[in-house]
Amino acid sequence: MTRTRWTILVSCSAAVVAALTPGPASGIAPQRPCPENFPDIILRADTLPIDNGVLFDRVNKNGDDIICIRSFANKEGGVLKDNTANGPAS
């Protein structure tokens, strides 16, 4: 085997090993659908004109740009919650 072929073989082998090696686990909680008592969702893009996404970013823990909202019945506003799988559904 020539030196060039050997170098190519070693390089390809290293790339395959790197591709197949599992990475560290992410600290981000996986997403899930909103609970039944939080029927609506808000996307980050919807909040940009209001406050540039500041409040949204405080609620959105998993970085998927989706949060759940339960609107108040007789007044403006509501309760916001991220759609993460950590903890019980509210």
DSSP 23-73: -PPPSSPPB-PPPTTS-EEEEHHHHHHHHTTHHHHHH--SSSSEEEEEE-S
Domain boundaries, the chain: 28-82
| 79 pLDDT above the threshold of 60 | yes
Per residue in 20-74, pLDDT (tens digit) is 455 555 555 556 688 888 888 889 999 899 898 898 999 998 888 899 999 888 8
pLDDT of residue 7: 57
pLDDT tier, 14 (very low <50, low <70, confident <90, very high otherwise): very low
Q: What is the pTM of this model?
A: 0.56
